Amino acid sequence: MKNAFFGLLALLITFTLTNCKKTEEEVKGLGDVVIEMDNHAGDEILEFGKSYVTAGGDTVKFTTFNYFVSNFILTKDDGTQYLVPKDSCYFLCQHDDVDSREIVLHNIPAGDYKSVQFIIGVDSLKSVSPVGDRKGVLDPTGAAAGMYWSWNSGYIFVKVEGTSPQAPVDAGTGERTLEYHTGLFGGKDSPTLNNLKTVKITSTSESARVRDGHTGDEAPVFHLYVDILEMFTTPNSFRVADVPTSHAGPFSQKVAENYADMFTLDHVHNHQ
C-alpha cells in the first residue's frame, strides 16, 4: 500500500514536472515587440495643417509634433519586468516620419506582456553623457539637432509648433504662432526643473505575446494613441492667447504635466 502510494506520488511529480517543462519550453527564446505611436488630435488622426479645437476653445493647427521616448520596461502577466538595455532604448518620434513612430524593441524574452512603461524625454544620465555616447537619434549635431538646447544643454522632450488665430502676432515672424518646447531633466550638479514624465500603459484584456523568432510582421503590437490636444488641458488647462509659447521657463512644468497623459492604449494586437 505504502509502496503504491509513493509510486503514484512519484508518477504525479514526474507528470507535473514534465508538464511544467513543456510550458516553459513554449515561451523560451527572443522576439520583438512593436510600440505603435498613433498620433491623434482628440478623436481624429492628426494631420498637419488641419484645424482642431482645444478643450479651452482655441482653434489650432500644427506644423511640428516630435517627442523623445526612452527607457522602456515591459511587464509580464506574472509581474516580472524586463528592462530594455540602455543602448537600445532611445527613440525620437516625429509626426512627419511614420517609420519613426513605429518603435521596435528587439530581443525581448518570450512571454506574455501586459504592460509597457517608458519615459517621455531623455533621462538625466544620458543628458550629461559625453558626445561619444550619444549615437543615432541622440546626436546633438545630427538627428537630435532640432531637439536639443545647446545653451541649456539637454534634449527637448516634446516639441509642438503650429498656429492659432487666438494667438498673438509674433513680433519676429508676423504670424500667430504657437511654440511649445519642453525639456529639463533635473540638472547635473545643481538642480533645475525636472520635466521627465513616466508613462505606464497596461492592457486589461489581451497581453502582447512575444514568441521566439517572431519579428517584423509577426511581432505583437502595443497600439497607442497619442493625443496632441492633451498638451493644452488636464490638469493645467490654458488658452493659447495667454501662453502662445513655452520653453525652458516655469510654465514648462505645467505643459509637461498636461502631456504626461497623452499616451493611451488603443489595443494590443497579436498576429497569431
The answer to whether residue 193 forms part of the interface with other proteins (CB under 8 A) is yes
Min dist. Cβ of residue 147 to other proteins (A): 13
Question: Helices marked H in 90-233 — which ranges?
Answer: 124-127
Q: Which is nearer to other proteins, 71 or 246 (CB)?
A: 246
Question: Which stretches of the chain are assigned E, i.e. beta strand?
Answer: 30-41, 44-45, 52-53, 59-76, 81-83, 90-94, 102-109, 111-120, 148-149, 154-163, 177-183, 197-202, 208-210, 221-227, 245-246, 263-269
Tell me the backbone φ, ψ of residue 37, rounded to 5 degrees: -95, 105
Q: Draw the binding track, 106-135, toward other proteins (x: CB under 8 A; -: no contact).
A: ---------------------xxxxxxxx-
| Binding of residue 97 to other proteins (CB under 8 A) | no
Between 173 and 190, name the residue whose CB sits nearer to other proteins: 190
Alpha-carbon torsion 90, 93, 97, 102, what sign?
Answer: positive
Identity of the residue, 61 or 247, whose beta carbon is nearer to other proteins in the bound complex: 247
**106 versus 188: smaller Cβ distance to other proteins:** 188
Nearer to other proteins, 156 or 184 (CB): 184
Contacts of 162 (CB under 8 A, 6+ apart): 60, 61, 62, 63, 64, 177, 178
Binding track, positions 246-265, relative to other proteins; x by CB under 8 A: --xxx-xx------------
Pairwise CA distance, residues 198 & 17, whole Å: 40
Binding part of the chain for other proteins, among 95-103, 160-168, 182-190, 205-213 by CB under 8 A, reads: 182-190
Q: Is 87 in the site for other proteins (CB under 8 A)?
A: no
188 binds other proteins (CB under 8 A): yes
The conformation of residue 97, written as its DSSP 8-state character, comes to B
Q: How far is the CB of 189 from other proteins (least distance, A)?
A: 5
